[in-house]
Amino acid sequence: MKASRLAATGAVAATAVVVLSSPAFAHVSVAAEGTAAKGGYAVVDFKVPNERDNASTTKLEVAFPADHPLASVMPEPMAGWKIQVTKSKLAKPLELHGEQITEAVSKVTWTATGKDSGIQPGYFEKFPVSVGALPEDADELVFKAIQTYSNKEVVRWIEVQEDGAEEPETPAPVLALSAASEDGHHGSSAAEEADAKTENAAATTDGDSSDTTARVLGVVGIVVGALGVAYGVLAGRRRSDA
């Protein structure tokens, strides 16, 4: 009897250890490549893991926040995926670069095109999108995503995290926004950083060229001076001999 009880207790304990140590399921999430500053522009990646071992992810739908519409939404082309951008009329027009915007992107859909395309079991993929201008009156943006598998299973990542509550089973992706810098800039783009590097390199090259030229002229001056002295000495000797 004691042996049976010990065996049963051990089995229960082992099961508990397995349950507690098993990793939490990965979720569809969103994160910025660099900084997502309020009032600025950013490239964000929707990271989609495949949580099934018998099906691939063949479709992703991301709904953009209606309470903070984004005037500019441009997905990056991706091999093996067809991208569809859906726009909707705005109740209140937005202003972008001095122009009135009456519609904004409400949804972006990625659909796998080939038989063997999509996100295979054991892998994840990132879906990049350039967005802006980000709102200045919000600390985060909530995107609701729908993930479809090749076996027709649909997972809706649409639950909003409530303050003080436990994380929902299928949370919606949330993008945290950082404050704009004090000088009014909203983060530098990759192009701006590249231009800065190019300018620095040019300045360094010009400086090196100037230093080299000065050194060459200095050496030439010394040589010319030495030749002048030698010529003067020879001329003096000739006059003495005469």
- Highest mean pLDDT: which range of 70-74, 191-195, 225-229: 70-74
Position 207 scores a pLDDT of 46
Q: What is the DSSP string of 56-88?
A: -EEEEEEEPPSSS--SEEEEPP-TTEEEEEEEE
Position 29 scores a pLDDT of 97
- Between 191 and 55, the higher pLDDT residue: 55
What whole-number distance in Å separates Cα of residue 69 and Cα of residue 225?
Answer: 75
Supply the DSSP symbol for 23: P
pLDDT score of 103 more than 70: yes
User: pLDDT, tens digit, for every residue of 1-46?
Assistant: 455 554 444 444 444 433 333 334 589 999 999 999 999 999 999 9
What whole-number distance in Å separates Cα of residue 132 and Cα of residue 208?
Answer: 41
**Is the preceding omega at residue 145 within 30 degrees of 0, hence cis?**
no
Tokens of 12: 């229960």
pLDDT score of 229 more than 70: no
Position 226 scores a pLDDT of 55
Split at pLDDT 50, 70, 90, the class of 124 is very high
pLDDT score of 175 more than 80: yes
pLDDT score of 201 more than 50: no
Mean pLDDT of the chain: 77
Position 94 scores a pLDDT of 79
What whole-number distance in Å separates Cα of residue 239 and Cα of residue 156?
Answer: 107
Residue showing tokens 């950082």: 178
User: pLDDT, tens digit, for every residue of 29-88?
Assistant: 999 999 999 999 999 999 999 999 999 999 999 999 999 999 899 999 999 999 999 999
Position 221 scores a pLDDT of 56
Split at pLDDT 50, 70, 90, the class of 218 is low
Position 233 scores a pLDDT of 45
Split at pLDDT 50, 70, 90, the class of 97 is confident
